[in-house]
Amino acid sequence: MPPAAATTPRGLSILVVEDTALVADLLAEELQDYGFSVVGPAARVDQGLALALSTGLDGALLDINLAGENCFPIADALTARGVPFAFLTGYGDAVLPPVYRAVPRLNKPFELAKMVELVERLLQKK
C-alpha cells in the first residue's frame, strides 16, 4: 500500500533498467503507485546508458544481466554523476566487480514492497 500523500516522493525520477518486460512493467507500476516518476524502463545496456547520461535522475534500479551484457557501464555513468542506484539480480558477489560489491542489491525474486523500501533508502542517502 502506498504511503500517505504527504510522504510520497512526487517528482523524484527513478531509472529502471530491466530486460524482462513483465518484471520491468511491474517495477515501473509499483514505483509510479508510490509517486515516483519512472524513466524507462530500458531493456538493453545502450538504452540504459543513454538515459543515465542524458536524463535528470534521483536514483536507479539496475538488473545486472541485460540480454547477456552486464549493466556496469550504466553503473559507471551513474556513479560519475552521483546518482544512487541498486542492483536487482539473481547473481551473487562473484559477478560484481569489487568496486560495486557494497552497492545495495535485491536478490530475485523479491517482494515489490522491498524494492520500494530500497529505493526510499537510496534517496535518503542522496
Secondary structure element (H or E) that encloses residue 66, with its range: strand 65-66
Query: Can you give the pLDDT of all 126 residues of the chain as single tens digits?
Result: 444 443 446 679 999 999 999 999 999 999 999 999 999 999 999 999 999 999 999 999 999 999 999 999 999 999 999 999 999 988 888 889 999 999 999 998 899 999 999 999 999 876
Q: Please give the domain boundaries of the chain with CATH numbers for all domains.
A: 11-111 (3.40.50.2300)
Q: Interhelix angle for 112-125 vs 21-33, to 10°?
A: 60
Grid cell in block for residue 20: 524482462
The reported pLDDT for the residue numbered 82 is 96
Of 13, 118, 20, which is closest to residue 64 (Cα–Cα)? 20
3-state secondary structure (DSSP) of residue 35: coil
